[in-house]
Amino acid sequence: MCGRSYAEPMLLLGIDLGTSGTKAVIVDERSRVVASATREHPVNTPRPGWSEQDPEEWWRSTIAAVRAALASPSVRARDVGAIGLSGQMHGLVMLGAGGEILRPCILWNDQRSAPQCERIERELGVERVVELTGNRMLPGFMAPKILWCREHEPQLERRAATHLLPKDWLRYRMSGVPATEVSDASGTALFDCGKRCWSAEMLTALRIARTTLPECAESPVVTAQLAGNVASELGLAPGIPIVGGAGDQAAAAIGAGIVREGRVSVNIGTSGVVFAACDAWRPAPRGELHAFCHAVPERWHVMGVMLSAGGSLRWYRDTIARIEAADAYDRLATEASTIVPGADGLTFLPYLTGERCPHSNPNARGAFVGLSTAHSRAHLTRAVFEGITFGLRDNLDLARSLGVTASTVELSGGGGRSAFWRQLCADVFQTPVAAARGDEGGGFGVALLAGVGAGVWKSVDAAVDAAATSPSDVTLPQCAKAYDLPYARFRALYADLSGAFERSAVAQQT
């Protein structure tokens, strides 16, 4: 392949297209990360509740990240033998008949298609939507975005020949092949996750042509080869195989070893994700949690996603705390640690950009409740940490209600690096918490999938076992009972304020 001898050691390239940047991770055949690099790209917010990106910005950050990783002295570009793709899920990239981008990508956290979701669930029924796809119809998903474009940008939607997810547009840009894989397709609201194929009934109901969607493979399967006209831009040889890859959360789970029943992870990034691997198809009755195909053939996962986890803390840092130092989050954690559990009756609701799980409500908003002159900024800081963690527990408890068990919850993302937040999670979850090994995220996971597709490992299980992704630094609960009342207060406040959220949304529209 490309003049490369199979006797030579193979390097595996994982590309993770995130919301704020693209990360390239290079892994060797012993599953060791030998190089990585990240390059940023911008997010555009043309209107409140809207979130868009120009796919060409993704391509620029991808080229820069891959080239930076390849520049490592421990890497020879000619040894890269397979590529895996990961990325932010749910986004809609619309292409014309010639492959041209018709409009900016509508991202996962965009809320504009809430009316389309409401209409679909009203016409089909929530139970039927969940029965067909395993999930509620949510504004973040691709299907309602297509309907929004049909209603508001009909001249563009009529020209749309292909609808792609973000990472799959990267594949198309790299190979000219429109393809996807089961874990990312699961988050379109057009996919029968139980049967692992596009839902003909849902496509018919929404009048979306099957021909506008790509072929769908299992995640470790080779779907394309790197085209010669773009290989030089990346600094790679042409013809390198590209496997299906995975959506960001399934990819991160592969990298963390969350592939078998009984392993549960919580990732605190911009969003917050509770992820549990399942050996059988196990949807929530009314779609309160996502039920998706895993990136492991014939396995699934349930997943709870809160939209503003670390995003809430970043907002607080920038707008209220106004700390610009490199160690800003460490300073905030230290400040929060000076306040007792429950923040002396102050509660923060972390619904700054609406909410997905367990409350499917794009109109939900953030709030501090119980604020008095007795509270200091440190109380607000503590309340923000606690509110985010309570939101994660909402989703963890839902997973437990489906029969998911875990002796330890594996914590990754920014929260996993904070001793204060690990202890808070252990107490609120009432379960030991461990820091997940490694911090390369989805890029590492899809590099392992690339190795399976290239024959380095026989299966995803074998790749994960070779990576020795056992958790470390176990933190035990110390004062779990201290959070019983604060958590109950948090749970009650959503119901108490839901009417106010709706009235506020109406006021903003008039």
Q: What is the pLDDT of residue 1?
A: 41
Lowest mean pLDDT of 174-178, 413-417, 447-451, 455-459, name the range.
413-417
Q: What is the pLDDT of residue 2?
A: 46
How many Cα atoms within 13 Å fall on the side-chain side of residue 191? 25
Q: What is the pLDDT of residue 83?
A: 98
Assess contact for 477 and 409: CB atoms under 8 A.
no
Q: If you write DSSP's letter for every residue of 295-354 in order, what string do you get?
A: SSTT-EEEEEEES-SHHHHHHHIIIII---STTHHHHHHHHHTTS-TTGGG-EEE--BTB
Structure tokens belonging to residue 27: 């892994």
Strand partners, 95: 101, 162
Query: pLDDT digit string (tens) for 129-146?
Result: 999 999 999 998 999 999
Neighbours of 478 (CB within 10 A): 9
Structure tokens belonging to residue 237: 């040889």
The answer to whether residue 248 is catalytic is: yes
- 90-164+179-213 and 310-396+484-509 share one CATH topology? yes
HEC string of 416-477 equals HHCHHHHHHHHHHHCCCEEECCCCCHHHHHHHHHHHHHCCCCCCHHHHHHHHCCCCEEEECC
Q: What pTM was computed for the model? A: 0.86
d(CA 70, CA 25): 9
Residue (of 307, 275, 215, 221) closest to 409 by Cα position: 275
Coil, helix or strand at residue 33: strand
Residue 158 contacts by C-beta under 8 Å, 6 or more apart in sequence? none
Query: pLDDT digit string (tens) for 295-311?
Result: 999 999 999 989 899 99
d(CA 32, CA 43): 32
Q: If you write DSSP's letter for every residue of 217-269 in order, what string do you get?
A: E-TTSEEEE--HHHHHHHT--TT-EEE--EEHHHHHHHHHT--STT-EEEEES
Q: What is the pLDDT of residue 439?
A: 63
Name the phi and psi angles at 5, rounded to 5: -80, 140
Element at 201 (helix H, strand E): helix 200-206
Neighbours of 442 (CB within 10 A): 32
Coil, helix or strand at residue 288: coil
Q: Which amino acid is at 504?
A: S
Higher-pLDDT residue of 326, 226: 226
Question: What is the DSSP secondary structure assignment for residue 196, as one 8-state letter?
Answer: T
**pLDDT (mean) for 206-226:** 98
Assess contact for 247 and 187: CB atoms under 8 A.
yes
Angle, to 10 degrees, between the axis of helix 126-133 and the axis of helix 114-124? 100
Kindly tell me if the per-residue pLDDT of 64 is higher than 90: yes
Sole residue written with tokens 């979850």: 429
Q: What is the pLDDT of residue 356?
A: 84
Question: Using 50, 70 and 90 to split pLDDT, how confident is the model at 438?
Answer: low
d(CA 146, CA 235): 35
Neighbours of 47 (CB within 10 A): 9
Assess contact for 329 and 384: CB atoms under 8 A.
no
Assess contact for 509 and 460: CB atoms under 8 A.
no
Residue (of 127, 176, 92, 87) closest to 445 by Cα position: 87
Q: Where are the domains of the chain?
A: 90-164+179-213, 310-396+484-509
CA 245 to chain centre: 14
Q: If you write DSSP's letter for every residue of 35-89 in order, what string do you get?
A: EEEEEE---B-SSTT--EE-HHHHHHHHHHHHHHHHTSTT--GGGEEEEEEEE--
Lowest mean pLDDT of 188-192, 346-350, 409-413, name the range.
409-413
Query: pLDDT digit string (tens) for 365-401?
Result: 999 999 999 999 999 999 999 999 999 999 999 999 9
Q: What is the pLDDT of residue 510?
A: 62
Choosing from 110, 248, 394, 427, which is the catalytic residue? Answer: 248
Architecture of domain 310-396+484-509: 2-Layer Sandwich (3.30)
Q: What CATH number does the domain located at 90-164+179-213 have?
A: 3.30.420.40
Residue (of 341, 321, 330) closest to 383 by Cα position: 341
Kindly tell me if the per-residue pLDDT of 6 is higher than 60: no
Q: What is the pLDDT of residue 331?
A: 96
